[in-house]
């Protein structure tokens, strides 16, 4: 059979293309690189999903959280040296988690 087009053709032209880049390129790094191997947390760093996720929060579970990023893509590992760098002496947040698993054997009868 004969089928007509299911969609009408557009009646107006799309909006004009942008005239300039949406945002300028960054001029400097948002966080200065640490100097002298210091073990200092960046007091301004927060996780990208929750402002309460500071370096102190990261330090409560560094093995899990040090890979988290802020909204600029900077990881806690790079910004929270006191919390994440194992070579820092006198770490305040070092904790060991004990994990145990129980295996249960199940036999299936046919």
Q: pLDDT tens digits, residue range 22-74?
A: 666 665 555 554 444 578 999 999 999 999 999 999 999 999 999 999 999 99
Strand partners, 6: none
Strand partners, 69: 75
Total domain count for the chain?
1
Decide which of 38 and 21 is more confident. 38
70 and 48 in contact (C-beta within 8 Å)? yes
39 Cβ contact list (under 8 Å, min separation 6): 81, 82, 85, 87, 88, 89
Task: Give CA–CA dist 33/40, Å, rounded.
Answer: 11
Query: Is residue 82 included in any domain, yes or no?
Result: yes
Query: Is residue 50 included in any domain, yes or no?
Result: yes
Query: Is residue 24 included in any domain, yes or no?
Result: no
Name the token pair of 51.
Answer: 């402002």
Q: Which of 6-15, 35-44, 58-67, 91-100 has the lowest mean pLDDT?
A: 91-100
Binned at pLDDT 50, 70 and 90, residue 20 comes out as low
Record the pTM. 0.48
Provide the residue range defining the domain that includes 68: 36-92
């Amino acid at each position: 059979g004969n089928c007509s087009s299911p969609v009408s053709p557009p009646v107006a032209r799309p909006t004009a293309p942008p005239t300039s880049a949406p945002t300028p390129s960054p001029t400097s790094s948002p966080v200065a690189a640490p100097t002298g191997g210091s073990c200092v947390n960046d007091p301004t760093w927060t996780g990208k999903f929750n402002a309460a996720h500071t370096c102190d929060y990261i330090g409560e579970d560094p093995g899990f959280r040090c890979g988290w990023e802020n909204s600029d893509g900077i990881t806690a590992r790079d910004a929270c040296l006191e919390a994440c760098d194992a070579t820092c002496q006198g770490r305040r947040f070092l904790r060991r988690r004990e994990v145990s698993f129980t295996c249960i054997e199940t036999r299936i009868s046919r």
